[in-house]
A and B are shown apart, each in its own frame.
Chain A
Amino acid sequence: MRQVIIVGSGPAAYTAAIYAARADLAPLVIASSVEFGGELMKTTEVENFPGFPEGIMGPELMTKMQEQAERFGAELVYDDVTKLELEGEIKRVHLGSGEVHEALAVIYATGSAYRKLGLADEERLSGYGVSWCATCDGAFFRQKKVAVVGGGDSALEEATFLTRFADTVYLVHRREELRASKAMQERAFADPKIEFLWNQEVAHIYGDEKVTGMGLVSTVDGTETTKDLDGLFVAIGADPRTHLVHGQLELAPEGTVAVRGRSSMTNLEGVFAAGDVVDPSYKQAITAAGSGCVAALDAERYLSELPAELLARAAGTAPQPQPASA
């Protein structure tokens, strides 16, 4: 049995791992089999993480966080959690391999998953022109026409990135103003390759073998138009990954895991949550890292108040008999 298991591998999970490892809690980190490193593995330059004045590549930042956690004794497992049993004093974490790990505390930091448009042809054409990762797939669209759907930072970042390759990048947004930061907006407005399609929703994706076009519907008057297209990038936000804790952890109205005040404490004793999975508003690498730190400190305090014999079992040592007093 472990003292603490951390589920996740983004900035929140790795920061929690660094703090927990430095507190001698020997955390086990379930980093997932293919999505380890989290969202930043799919980004390019990160320019707003303090301490890197020249910027740093997302995957490199995550590798450094991982190394920092391992340096202090965090152990990583590249597998996926299939089931969590979070009630009671001893928590159980089931993995894809069939292994079951036990711990006294769990830090849940699974982040969020890309939202889909919900169109019939989206799944069928996924990988054949429909994409959720401009940095992965952008280079295949040299001198082509692509569209990005969305109005937030990630949509504008993708659109700007895609102009390196594509001739035309449509930005499809259902309103006429963007949620994205000012800096991102200015960069995109100044880019001659980006064409904004305001007040439009994607209603159809066309193509047999691969994407050939999209059908748009005006959110103002319902007018339908079509555009020829080679690629469609979906960047309409993400939903917190709460499927493993449904029925166990209370959720906030926004769909994130509910935590008490500024802490990481959930409705269950010994279960802490951090990162994008608790955050409906900020969703930055640095805020996730900060909340991972909070979770590790909360877990450390919780563990320090548990009975000594439980802790001894978790540390893998039998309780030491007290020396007889003279």
Chain B
Amino acid sequence: MSARNVTDADFEAEVLKSDKPIMVDFWAEWCGPCKAVSPILDRIAEENADKIDIVKLNVDDNPETAMKYGITSIPAMYVFSDGEVKKRIIGAKPKPALESDLAEFLA
């Protein structure tokens, strides 16, 4: 199972109004490290389905949202809760490192 996509159009409904913490993976087709981290995020999402949602946002197709959150480096993984950014993670990292970055949401 891989994470579902969100867009500029449904970002508010899907992410900002989400009733549980939700991580947005800002990515692009041409970004090698994004491809590397993607399956790791899928595994984290699967193992923690009750605690956190993980979705993807393609920055080329959805420049408005990427610009609004000042994305200048991808992969960028932002955790939103109650409509606000609660955590920013930049760059592909091994699974244990991501899990420790996300510890407060996975507990």
Contact = CB atoms under 8 A, between A and B. Distances in A.
A96 interface: yes
A225 interface: no
B106 interface: no
A33 interface: yes
Interface stretch (A126-134, A149-157, A300-308): A126-134
Contacts of A41: 32-33, 36
Contacts of B71: 140
A161 B85 CA distance: 32
Contact of A209 (B33, B35, B70, B95): B70
A135 B30 contact: yes
Interface of B: 28, 30-37, 40, 59-60, 66, 70-74, 76, 88, 90-96
B32 A136 contact: yes
B40 A34 contact: yes
Contact of A59 (B32, B66, B73): B32
Interface string A111-127: 00000000000000011
20 contacts: A33-B40, A34-B36, A34-B40, A34-B92, A36-B36, A59-B32, A59-B35, A80-B94, A96-B95, A126-B73, A126-B90, A127-B91, A131-B72, A136-B74, A137-B73, A139-B60, A140-B72, A140-B73, A141-B72, A209-B70
A32 B32 CA distance: 14
B40 A136 contact: no
Contacts of A137: 72-74
Given A140-B73, A141-B72, A209-B70, A133 B94 contact: no
A227 interface: no
A42 interface: yes
A304 to B, nearest CB: 36
A139 B32 CA distance: 14
Given A58-B32, A131-B72, A139-B28, 14 more contacts: A32-B94, A33-B94, A33-B95, A35-B36, A37-B36, A59-B35, A80-B94, A96-B94, A128-B72, A135-B32, A137-B73, A137-B74, A139-B30, A140-B74
Contacts of A32: 94
